[in-house]
């Protein structure tokens, strides 16, 4: 949880201010759906033991709508020909107030909650006895679990618009809410608005973003307010004024959306939504400055510097990182052991603890692989294509870093080292978001690695995102992050793919097939199938479905294979044909990844049926044919449209290290950009560099295009 | 509009059935927010003149909640120790009914709508007098604009669960709604559910999809129903049964989501949401079969065949297309002229009509460029990398088509020809979605082109999506479409990027900069700036911002440039420094694309400031430096991180044809996959092909990896 939101655990009494825009919307129509949902939230909080007080606006709007309708009913046709006078605001308030309160009463009644009405005016507050009485009344109501609903008594108030006189005690419902927050000693004031919170600039401006924690010293004067909303008296300026006032007097305030689902409940659970105003906000100012957005921006700046230094200097950084890791091996092991001990104590499962542990020799092998990476050909600035467009006009397509890459990984601290060194090699900025269970290991590894990055580049090239910024927040930063690489469970990958506009490099499913053709050498088939299934059943490149040519049914080789699979402990599930042929249970679906000692088996007619099956039920990861007939094999290799297609080799070979790519950032089943096992090249893109001597297009009247390929 | 939804324009009387899941949700709690929003919709329809009848469920749930609470209040601590008897369903119904009706009454009251209650039982309907009376009563209520709210009179009904006896006249609120639809001669019945409509299979299964129009002959028996929802008696099976019954008797039915915003209003506007049941549904069966999903699936199958034929055969297809276009030139021109004439009559703007028109000679130049494309080196199946992993185990990285590409284009029928030929060249399936204004041109071009595709591949390789399937529907097909290429306005591109999970190739903004360094040849700078701005101001590669080194201020060359820009009719807007220096109005924002004879000008300190400015306000499209100082130029070329970076050449050169890429599918500012002007290569991806002789991984114990690069 954001430390700035930790105070919510002590909140008991909360005031919720419901703005005009929430009650009636910008079209002036009563928003019954929103009000109903609001009452559901109040009920929820009330039954959780919170003391909830409402301050509502919207009576004037409700009344105006009603009175217009009433006037229409009472008008003759002749009346309607006359110019229509604007309705009296006081009359609207009087009519609207009773309607609005009746509505709250009805809604709350349905939820077995009792509400009460408290209408106050500015001048009431001038009387100290009134203040005392008000407090007592509210306390009594709250003790009975009744919801007090406040509104300014507009119908009889003698104050006049624009209400901005500084002499007043309050001048709109925002400041009334702030005043009540202090009078009634609320622990939190929530101002519901028609936007998510306070933004740094009007939307549409580049880099305009929501401010989650308002810091007076930093934000005052920095924020550009847009036009205030057209309904109600308030607008964002009034809200901020009221919020600053209440917060500085000791009651924290959150401006949040009254349109979003369950926003008040989320605020009270400490979720980082809306904008918080808190008198101690400046204390949390420092961590805010290195929030993920700022980290991404810094990482991009550093990556630009990393690109501009010489290839030899980049190599040197990698060698320094390798040395630093070795020099700090003891320290790293101590921190890692602390993580492992904590995980054991917390009762994490064994497989997680095994992935968390940096085994003896691991640091050495990591630093060794970094030195190999350092000695690889520099991938940045490669001229991939050089063309003379016209005389003296030369175009180059050159490789360059993507920009900023976010890695979300679970457990394995060695992944941090691998990916950080790949990022340096490819010139990218990097944000790392690791799992809590590896917190100390990640912190020390990050410190050691960034310590080896020279000031000419800047250690902010690699940012370690600490746990207070949750993954959903990071995934929103599509304007400053270019690629996300999830390293973890399929569930993690699927969730990330579902919830971000940033391109994701990875694969959600690994439903790999082995097809045994009738021409297969059955001994070879047996070896490949056994390896593909049992070498590492939890791997994404393990076989999940075995397809068998129909002519092999009842052959000795196939029977052997089935017996051996069962003998190794593999549970078989069958498609409609195989379940009968082998007397095995029916598979629930062909589109299923077991990730364990189990697989689906089906009998099919020929290679074309195999291709169709894979196309329909596969996940385009890795698929294999076992066949002696080369023509059949080529048909399979040509027509199966997966990231990796194998002939007579185990699906387990689909791996960056086995493919000789050096370090691997992951395996991608996307068709866009890198596909299959991805090494450095997946972190690169290209730029077009054109060098001329003053050429212009001018309608292409004079340019003589040569389009001559030049040597690289 | 989907022709199947055209009937809604004649709908006057509509019955809305509100299911238990909508009223109380799966947690059994009253969903006030949803009910409020429902009443807002009913009010809206009522005031639009529709006759609205509600059939509501949920009373039992509401009553159960209330009675539990009541029992708790009345219980002693000792009472609560005893096992709690389940509450009597009839009692729940009696209590819930009055609560639910009071709620509807209150909600409608607030909206100045009057509602009424009609409780009926199964046995009532056995009496013909009852039926007649009911009709009359409802007619009277509707004539007075009162909303009749129906419910089964559960509290006194003597029928017993499971209510499935076929003797009944109705057996749940779904069948009651269907019965009432016929009795009361409704024009439409809407069954609100907790899902979007009827799906072809439970979610999670590959290719499970919503059925927009239920066709009994096709769907009966084909649909797999999941478990029925845990609340209420109905579930999807009951809904479909009721819907089939009412539809076959003449009242169309739509099953739609009661959770989505405004779904009833949308159904009545003819939007293709939910599942429609209509007695004439089979008449619309044929077009349904070639809906966009089916088209995408067919296109993928044809693309697989296209990949498997020989390179020479693919070349032949392109040559045949070129011949066919020339042979049908007259026909194409006639259809195009018809489009142009219609557009003129409709008063479309000139620029659109100009883009719509196929000028004389255009067909010839298109077919010429197709022949050039045909003679290009075949891009499919290129071995990009060949590695020996181990003895007898050879890995190849080969180029292959992406799969299925969707092109959304406005106006220009020539884009159809270009992109179709690029798709054939690159082996991809294609869906074309053109603008209505070019309907006839697109249809004839599509017919001529697909006519030239041999049966071995299949003419469904290229599908022309007709206008009834709107763009938002197409953008949902992320499981069968691999890439979207929008060709049209920035607004179109931005909208598409915002609303799809399919990767989009394109650029939303083209905020291109020219930076004039202090070392620039000012004559050259003048030529480049003028060309970059005025050669084609509406182009995405036109200059939008001119950055000038501060040392050039007050120089003769710069003054000349400014005078000439103004003389050519370019309106200048300045940043803080330039607006003072040149006495020109302030630019609203540096992040602005004029697309017209206007640009922003600003004075900056040096090349680093220029790079920072471009980084912050640019759109990473094309940026240019004019400088004699080569070191400064290289800094700019190296550090400006845009798709295209130019030295001493006009930004207008950023174009596929000028870059010599042949036909262009668009310009991409994405960093993932193709970047800058994109030709054939943007439509390709890679696959890894591994050929072995039975190798297995087996824990890497025996494999000796060689990782030897082999010649290509």
Q: Using one digit for the tens of pLDDT, what is the confidence trace for A29-81?
A: 888 899 999 999 999 999 999 999 999 988 888 888 888 877 777 777 777 77
Helix (H, G, I), strand (E, B) or coil at A626: strand
The yes-or-no verdict on residue A195 having pLDDT over 60 is yes
Interface of A with B in 308-367 (CB under 8 A): 308
Q: Using one digit for the tens of pLDDT, what is the confidence trace for B561-572?
A: 999 999 999 999
Q: Do A483 and B692 touch (CB under 8 A)?
A: no
Q: What is the pLDDT confidence band of residue A201, given thresholds at 50, 70 and 90?
A: confident
Nearest Cβ partner of A689 from B483, B637, B652?
Answer: B637
Contacts of B40 in chain A (CB under 8 A): 29-33
| Comparison of pLDDT for A200 and A119, the residue scoring more | A119
| Comparison of pLDDT for B544 and B284, the residue scoring more | B544
Gap between the Cα atoms of A338 and A251, Å rounded = 40
pLDDT computed for residue A170 by the predictor: 78
- Please, what's the b/e burial string for B553-570 (b: 16 or more CB within 10 A of its CB; e: otherwise)? eeeeebeebbeebeeeeb
Choice among A142-146, A237-241, B488-492 with the minimum mean pLDDT: B488-492
Give the Å distances, CA to CA, from B214 to B243, B272, B274, B550. 10, 12, 10, 69
The yes-or-no verdict on residue B95 having pLDDT over 90 is no
Q: Pick the closest to residue B102 from A704, A486, A102, A193 (CA basis).
A: A102
Gap between the Cα atoms of B645 and B637, Å rounded = 6
Interface of B with A in 589-618 (CB under 8 A): 589, 591, 615-617
pLDDT computed for residue B160 by the predictor: 61
CA atoms within 13 A on the CB side of B102: 17
Q: What is the pLDDT confidence band of residue B225, given thresholds at 50, 70 and 90?
A: low
Mean pLDDT of B106-116: 89
User: Which residues lie below 8 Å from residue A119, measured CB to CB, with a gap of 6+?
Assistant: A97, A150, A151, A152, A153
pLDDT computed for residue B383 by the predictor: 92
Helix (H, G, I), strand (E, B) or coil at B560: helix
Give the Å distances, CA to CA, from B564 to A434, A606, A695, B534. 57, 73, 18, 11
**Percent helix, strand and coil across chain B, each to the nearest 5:** 45, 20, 35
pLDDT computed for residue B506 by the predictor: 85
CA atoms within 13 A on the CB side of A391: 3
Q: Do B699 and A675 touch (CB under 8 A)?
A: no
Q: Are B426 and B401 in contact (CB under 8 A)?
A: yes
Strands (E), B582-663: 598-604, 622-626, 644-649
Interface of B with A in 98-117 (CB under 8 A): 99, 102-103, 106-107, 109-112
| Comparison of pLDDT for B2 and B368, the residue scoring more | B368
Question: What was the ipTM of the complex prediction?
Answer: 0.75
Altogether, the residues listed in chain B come to a count of 712
DSSP secondary structure string, A443-507? HHHHHHHHHTS-TTT-GGGEEE--TTS-HHHHHT-TTT--EEEEES-HHHHHHHHHT-SS-B-S-
- Burial class, B378, CB count within 10 angstroms (exposed 0-12 / middle 13-18 / buried 19+): middle
Q: Using one digit for the tens of pLDDT, what is the confidence trace for B489-547?
A: 878 888 888 888 889 988 878 999 999 999 999 999 999 999 999 999 988 999 999 99
Q: Are B705 and A660 in contact (CB under 8 A)?
A: yes
Q: Using one digit for the tens of pLDDT, what is the confidence trace for A162-176?
A: 555 555 677 788 989
pLDDT computed for residue A383 by the predictor: 92
The yes-or-no verdict on residue A604 having pLDDT over 60 is yes
pLDDT computed for residue A291 by the predictor: 76
pLDDT computed for residue B333 by the predictor: 95
The yes-or-no verdict on residue A596 having pLDDT over 80 is yes
Q: Using one digit for the tens of pLDDT, what is the confidence trace for B655-677?
A: 988 998 877 888 998 888 889 99
The yes-or-no verdict on residue B187 having pLDDT over 90 is yes
Q: Which residues pair with B18 in a beta bridge?
A: B56, B192
| Comparison of pLDDT for A112 and A462, the residue scoring more | A462
Nearest Cβ partner of B650 from A503, A532, A696?
Answer: A696
The yes-or-no verdict on residue A661 having pLDDT over 50 is yes
Q: What is the pLDDT confidence band of residue A202, given thresholds at 50, 70 and 90?
A: low
CA distance A206 to chain B (A): 7
Q: Are A683 and A481 in contact (CB under 8 A)?
A: no
Q: Using one digit for the tens of pLDDT, what is the confidence trace for A352-362?
A: 888 899 988 99
Nearest Cβ partner of A110 from B32, B645, B686?
Answer: B32
| Comparison of pLDDT for B179 and A712, the residue scoring more | B179
Give the Å distances, CA to CA, from A478 to A2, A69, A463, A471. 21, 48, 17, 13
| Comparison of pLDDT for A105 and B15, the residue scoring more | B15
The yes-or-no verdict on residue A205 having pLDDT over 90 is no
Gap between the Cα atoms of B627 and B634, Å rounded = 10
Contacts of A310 in chain B (CB under 8 A): none
Q: Using one digit for the tens of pLDDT, what is the confidence trace for B36-77?
A: 999 999 999 999 999 999 999 888 888 888 888 777 777 777
Percentage of chain B beyond pLDDT 70 is 94
Q: Are A234 and A173 in contact (CB under 8 A)?
A: yes
Q: Do A686 and B675 touch (CB under 8 A)?
A: yes
| Comparison of pLDDT for B322 and B165, the residue scoring more | B322
- φ/ψ of B659, rounded to 5, equals -75, -5
The yes-or-no verdict on residue A187 having pLDDT over 90 is yes
Q: Using one digit for the tens of pLDDT, what is the confidence trace for A300-313?
A: 999 989 988 999 99
pLDDT computed for residue B653 by the predictor: 95
Nearest Cβ partner of A308 from B66, B639, B643?
Answer: B639
The yes-or-no verdict on residue B600 having pLDDT over 80 is yes
User: Which residues lie below 8 Å from residue B666, measured CB to CB, with a gap of 6+?
Assistant: B485, B486, B487, B505, B506, B507, B677, B678, B682
Contacts of B632 in chain A (CB under 8 A): none
Q: Do B102 and A112 touch (CB under 8 A)?
A: no
Token pair recorded at residue A441: 């290991």
Q: Using one digit for the tens of pLDDT, what is the confidence trace for B130-173?
A: 899 999 999 998 998 899 999 988 877 776 655 555 556 777 88
Indicate the average pLDDT of chain A: 88
Query: What domains are there in chain B, each with its CATH number?
Result: 3-58+102-158+171-283 (3.40.1160.10), 292-382+399-498 (3.40.605.10), 512-664 (3.40.309.10)
Mean pLDDT of A375-400: 92
Nearest Cβ partner of B33 from A36, A647, A687?
Answer: A36
Contacts of B482 in chain A (CB under 8 A): 671-672
Q: Using one digit for the tens of pLDDT, what is the confidence trace for B571-587?
A: 999 999 999 999 999 99
pLDDT computed for residue A228 by the predictor: 42
CB-defined contacts A:B, below 8 A? 301
Q: Are B181 and B232 in contact (CB under 8 A)?
A: no
Choice among B82-86, B481-485, B534-538, B638-642 with the minimum mean pLDDT: B82-86
- φ/ψ of B402, rounded to 5, equals -70, -40
Mean pLDDT of A479-507: 87
Token pair recorded at residue A93: 């308030």
The yes-or-no verdict on residue A487 having pLDDT over 80 is yes
């Amino acid at each position: 949880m954001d430390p700035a939101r930790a105070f919510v655990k002590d909140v008991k009494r909360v005031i919720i201010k419901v703005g005009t825009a929430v009650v009636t919307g910008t079209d002036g129509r009563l928003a019954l759906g929103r009000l109903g949902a609001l009452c559901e939230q109040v009920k929820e909080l009330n039954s959780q033991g919170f003391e909830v007080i409402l301050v509502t606006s919207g009576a004037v709007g409700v009344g105006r709508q009603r009175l217009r309708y009433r006037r229409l009913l009472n008008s003759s046709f002749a009346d309607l020909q006359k110019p229509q006078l604007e309705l009296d605001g006081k009359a609207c308030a009087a009519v609207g107030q009773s309607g609005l309160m009746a509505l709250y009463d009805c809604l709350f009644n349905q939820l077995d909650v009792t509400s009460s009405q408290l209408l106050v005016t500015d001048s009431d507050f001038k009387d100290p006895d009134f203040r005392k009485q008000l407090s007592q009344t509210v306390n009594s109501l709250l003790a009975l679990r009744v919801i007090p609903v406040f509104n300014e008594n507009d119908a009889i108030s003698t104050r006049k618009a624009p209400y901005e006189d500084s002499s007043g005690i309050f001048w709109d419902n925002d400041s009334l809410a702030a005043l009540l927050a202090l009078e009634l000693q609320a622990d939190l004031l929530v101002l519901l608005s028609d936007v998510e919170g306070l933004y740094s600039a009007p939307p549409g401006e580049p880099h305009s973003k929501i401010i989650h924690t308002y810091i007076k010293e930093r934000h005052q004067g920095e924020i550009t307010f847009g036009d205030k909303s057209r309904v109600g008296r308030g607008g964002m300026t009034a809200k901020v004024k009221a919020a600053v006032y209440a917060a500085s007097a000791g009651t924290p305030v959150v401006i949040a959306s009254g349109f979003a689902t369950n926003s008040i409940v989320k605020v009270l659970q400490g979720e980082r939504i809306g904008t918080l105003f808190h008198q101690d906000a400046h204390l949390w100012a420092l961590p805010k400055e290195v929030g993920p957005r700022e980290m991404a921006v810094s990482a991009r700046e550093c990556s630009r510097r990393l690109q501009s230094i010489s290839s030899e200097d980049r190599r040197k950084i990698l060698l320094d990182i390798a040395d630093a890791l070795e020099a700090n091996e003891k320290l790293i092991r101590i921190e890692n052991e602390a993580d492992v001990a904590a995980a054991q104590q917390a009762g994490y499962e064994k497989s997680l603890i095994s992935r968390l542990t940096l085994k003896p020799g691991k640091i050495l092998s990591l630093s060794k692989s970094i030195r190999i990476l350092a000695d690889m050909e520099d991938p940045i600035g490669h001229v991939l294509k050089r063309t003379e467009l016209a005389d003296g006009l030369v175009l180059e397509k050159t490789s360059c870093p993507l920009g900023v890459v976010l890695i979300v990984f679970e457990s394995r601290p060695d992944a941090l080292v691998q990916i950080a060194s790949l990022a340096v090699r490819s010139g990218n900025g990097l944000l790392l978001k690791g799992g809590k269970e590896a917190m100390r290991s990640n912190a020390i590894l990050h410190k050691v690695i960034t310590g080896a990055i020279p000031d000419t580049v800047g250690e902010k090239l690699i940012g370690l995102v600490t746990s207070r910024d949750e993954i959903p927040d990071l995934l929103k930063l599509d304007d400053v992050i270019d690629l996300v690489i999830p390293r973890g469970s399929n569930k993690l990958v699927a969730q990330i793919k579902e919830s971000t506009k940033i391109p994701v490099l990875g694969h959600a499913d690994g439903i790999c097939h082995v097809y045994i053709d009738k021409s297969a050498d059955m001994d070879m088939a047996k070896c490949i199938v056994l390896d593909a299934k049992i070498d590492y059943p939890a791997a994404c490149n393990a076989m999940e479905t075995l397809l068998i040519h129909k002519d092999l049914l009842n052959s000795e080789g196939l029977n052997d294979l089935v017996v051996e699979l069962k003998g190794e402990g593999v549970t078989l599930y069958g498609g409609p044909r195989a379940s009968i042929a082998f007397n095995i249970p029916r598979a629930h679906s062909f589109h299923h990844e077991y990730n364990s000692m189990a697989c689906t088996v089906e009998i099919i007619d020929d290679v074309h049926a195999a291709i169709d099956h894979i196309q329909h039920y596969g996940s385009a990861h890795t698929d294999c044919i076992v066949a002696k007939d080369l023509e059949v094999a080529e048909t399979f290799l040509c027509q199966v449209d997966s990231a990796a297609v194998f002939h007579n080799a185990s699906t387990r070979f689909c791996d960056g290290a086995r493919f000789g790519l050096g370090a691997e950032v992951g395996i991608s089943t996307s068709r866009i950009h890198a596909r299959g096992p991805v090494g450095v090249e997946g972190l690169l893109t290209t730029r077009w560099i054109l060098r001329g001597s003053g050429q212009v297009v001018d309608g292409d009247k004079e340019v003589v295009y040569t389009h001559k390929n030049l040597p690289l």
